[in-house]
Amino acid sequence: MKALLQRVTTARVEVAGEVVGCIDQGLLVLVGVEPGDDQAKADKMLRRLLDYRVFNDAEGRMNCSLRDVRGGLLLVSQFTLAADTRKGLRPGFSTAAAPADAEALFTYMLAQAEQSHAPVASGRFAATMQVHLVNDGPVTFLLEV
């Protein structure tokens, strides 16, 4: 499982012009599910996302987590994050989980996030989405579990 997290001052996801998820300060997280990923990996990734120290403390150092700053979490499923890009000029998607498996795991992760953190928002699985964000820093990290 891969998660590309971006520290944002604001972010929103639109589908066909409708806002389906939005947050103010927090993390926009693009989630890529790979074959073999399971609920244990989703739980581990969620813990890392909520506790990863990417927000500045009073001294301007990255010592605060999403929980510490009570920021928003916007989760967006993105199968292209799991693509194989090691060779050639076109990505391969055999390294991404099957859509039904990915949707089930993403839905599980979203439900777990909603139980343990607020505010939580999401994009819409398998939809063509427009993601708008103001990257704060910019701060962007790729996490893998």
Q: Count Cβ neighbours within 10 Å for each residue of 128-139 and write b for 16 or more, e otherwise.
A: ebebebeebeee
Q: Decide: 32 and 82 in contact? Cβ < 8 Å.
A: yes
CB-CB neighbours of 63 under 10 Å: 13
Residues with catalytic function: 78-80
| Rounded-to-integer distance, Cα 18 and Cα 109, Å | 23
Structural tokens at position 23: 């947050």
Coil/strand/helix, residue 83? coil
